[in-house]
Amino acid sequence: MEIEPYIKRLLAKQEELTADIARLEREGRQAREAEVQDPIDVVNSDTGKAEAFEESTIDYATLKLVREALQRIEQGTYGICIDCGEPISEARLSAVPWTPYCRNDQEKHDREACETDNRGGAR
């Protein structure tokens, strides 16, 4: 497997995410609430803040995965599933170069997350 294209994509994604996170943080610091707001303004402001927080949370999580993938490249373990130790398909790596899992293990993690969400939501 030729690793250089993956390195380039991971570095580009890292740069993109870092810039997005910096922008979201900058916007959050610059956001000033008016001294007088009606209830609709408050709801709109809170909704915007929640959306920005969710976006930054996703960006941080993806950035962590990208950096971990770059570490696996340095360690010589890139492209190997961290759960089962089997190779990750090149098609999967091309689609999501920061993935730490083969398709089967990713599906297992997705099912577990869904079950956890469903149990938490049913309480």
Note the pLDDT of residue 117. 82
Ramachandran angles phi, psi of 80, nearest 5°: -115, 130
Number of domains in the chain: 2
- Same structural domain for residues 15 and 50? yes
Helices within 1-123 (DSSP H only): 4-30, 39-75, 90-95, 103-122
Q: What is the pLDDT of residues 19-74, one digit of tens each?
A: 999 988 877 766 555 445 666 666 666 666 667 677 888 999 999 999 999 999 99
- Same structural domain for residues 86 and 34? no
pTM over 0.85? The answer is no
Q: Which domain, by its residues, includes 108?
A: 81-123
- Same structural domain for residues 69 and 101? no
Q: What's the CA angle centered on 10, arms 5 and 15, to 5 degrees?
A: 130
- Same structural domain for residues 28 and 50? yes
